[in-house]
Amino acid sequence: MALTLSFQFYDLPLQHPFTISRYTVTIQKTVVVCISDGTFSGYGEATANPYYHSTQERLTESLSKLKPIVDSSEVIHPEALWQKLAPIVPDDYFALCAVDIAYWDYYARKNSKSLRSFWSEPNSKTPLTSYTIGLDTLEVMQQKIIEKPWPIYKIKLGTPNDIQIVESLRKITEAVFRIDANCAWTAEQAIDNAKILKELQVEFIEQPLKAEDIEGMKRVKSESVLPVLADESCQREEDVILCSEIFHGINIKLMKCGGITPALRMIKTARKKGLLTMAGCMTESTVGISGLVQIAPLLDYLDSDGALLLNQDIADGASFDFGKIVYPNAFGTGVKIYPK
């Protein structure tokens, strides 16, 4: 049967305005890709994101370039298809990611397997996901925690009052804290803040410095009392080796690296280099999250709360019970799209 690639855009309204050190989002634009042979269908997702120059127009252009290759392809292994597609959109790995996840989902459903079963055992242990608290007033950030009891919170920082924020949130919960500074600190601030944050039971710090500040990160890695994980510094496969020299771990985001196929290779390289491994998400629907959690058995940490931040979702699939992944009893990723 011939394969067909199609895609549709959605607006995802958020429960609260989501603010990080760079921008605020109230409605997240996203695209869902479907690859189907008429009997089996697989789904993937990519979001619009200003920091990574991912727009609706660019996604449309890139997916239109990838469509004829998918439509003319035989059913081959996802790794082989990725190798065919990657050179076509070298500057748009968000679109490549959506197609890669959709094809993995299709391939697993066609083979009557859950997607994660290609690389993990059925009852493999998976890390709990964190729940993100975006930047806001102290009162609103506290209220978000009160509204959503959770075992692990990822706290977005990047203000002149970062320590005060963490101190105030620590007063209302004993949950594990992880800090994401989103490139907002200097090396000096990161080293000094880490000492105080460790006392506040923070587990690690994500991307404290700007991605290009390599010398600063070398110093932070050697002097920080908390582990530091790369996010903006680790976008694609080729970044893993450098990150192994200046971070203790990496945060892999499927949209930044081009999907599940390269993420699996990044995890392998990271393990060889002794790095901690984490996977993170964008503010995305259950379509993308259900693809992401398929690699969870291979990871140390997980940040897959994107769909939990939405006011309205567009699909059923993987869900969470107080941080624990609840996989659907289905082949592929188990995603079912709601009628539009």
Asked if residue 220 has pLDDT above 80, the reply is yes
State the pLDDT at residue 154. 98
Q: Give just the sign of the alpha carbon dihedral 289, 293, 299, 303.
A: positive
Band (pLDDT 50/70/90 cuts) for residue 191 is very high
State the pLDDT at residue 100. 99
Mean pLDDT value of segment 63-80: 98
Q: Which of 44, 111, 43, 81 is nearest to 331 (CA)?
A: 111
Asked if residue 123 has pLDDT above 90, the reply is no
Q: Which residues pair with 288 in a beta bridge?
A: none
State the pLDDT at residue 253. 97
Asked if residue 21 has pLDDT above 90, the reply is no
Asked if residue 313 has pLDDT above 70, the reply is yes
pTM of the model: 0.96
Asked if residue 22 has pLDDT above 70, the reply is no
265, 243 contact by CB (below 8 A): no
Concatenate the DSSP letters of all residues of 147-163 into one string.
HS--SEEEEE--STTHH
State the pLDDT at residue 112. 98
Please indicate whether residue 52 or residue 311 has the higher confidence score (pLDDT): 311
Mean pLDDT value of segment 99-107: 99
Band (pLDDT 50/70/90 cuts) for residue 270 is very high
117, 330 contact by CB (below 8 A): no
Band (pLDDT 50/70/90 cuts) for residue 106 is very high
